[in-house]
């Protein structure tokens, strides 16, 4: 990986840039597996700058951005210290809520840097590991998490629009004590 990148904790001033990247990466990840209506509903519901501003100021979340050699936000990581799952016990685990890399920056090591940061934060705060949801139709993401040592722990149904049920795979990675 090119070492010309900057990894930093994001703050409320980053909400607009973060929402813009989040929309772009969400569309790229889900436009082929969700309906156009579902994509638009999800973006309107969860990916607005004010939602990110609230997350950026929450003591229960941490958001980190990685900037590429051109100074642009290339990816981000969102962790939730208090999140529950019906499939697993989340006690002593941090939720890897979101991790996305701009399509033009994929396969360049940015995801690895963000994953390593997530694990570092987990250890720093004394947690035993990380957990996440992965949409069952997002096979490339699922393979990525499995490569990183995550294990399937269960499934959870979800709806974006009423009447259309999807399934998330719940994955867990226990971190060894160092």
Write down the pTM of the prediction. Answer: 0.92
* Between 6 and 3, residue with greater pLDDT: 6
Residue 102: which domain range?
Answer: 6-126
Whether 133 maps to a domain, the answer reads no
Confidence of residue 1 (pLDDT cuts 50, 70, 90): low
Q: How many domains does the chain have?
A: 1
In the chain, what is the straight-line distance between the N-terminal and C-terminal CA atoms, in Å? 26
Indicate the helix (H) or strand (E) that contains 24. helix 15-30
Confidence of residue 2 (pLDDT cuts 50, 70, 90): low
Whether 94 maps to a domain, the answer reads yes
As beta bridge partners, residue 23 has: none
What b/e string do you get for 137-161 counting C-beta neighbours within 10 Å, with b at 16 or more?
A: ebeebbeebeebebeebeeeeeebe
pLDDT per residue as tens digits for the range 153-168 = 999 999 999 999 999 9
Whether 155 maps to a domain, the answer reads no
Find the CATH number of the domain harbouring 20. Answer: 3.40.630.30
């Amino acid at each position: 990986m090119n070492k010309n990148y900057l990894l930093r904790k994001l703050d409320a001033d980053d909400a607009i840039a973060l929402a813009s990247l989040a929309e772009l990466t969400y569309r790229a990840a889900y436009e082929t597996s969700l309906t156009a209506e579902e994509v638009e509903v999800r973006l309107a519901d969860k990916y607005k700058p004010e939602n990110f501003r609230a997350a950026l100021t929450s003591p229960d979340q941490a958001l980190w951005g990685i900037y590429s050699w051109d100074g642009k936000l290339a990816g981000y990581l969102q962790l939730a210290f208090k999140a529950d799952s019906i499939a697993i016990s989340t006690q002593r685990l941090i939720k890897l809520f979101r991790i996305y890399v701009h399509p033009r920056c994929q396969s360049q090591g940015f995801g690895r840097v963000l994953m390593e940061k997530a694990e570092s934060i987990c250890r720093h705060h004394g947690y035993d590991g990380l957990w996440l949801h992965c949409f069952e139709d997002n096979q490339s993401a699922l393979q990525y998490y499995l490569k990183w040592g995550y294990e399937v722990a269960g499934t959870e149904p979800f709806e974006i629009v009423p009447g259309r049920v999807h399934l998330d795979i719940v994955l867990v990675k226990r971190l060894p004590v160092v």
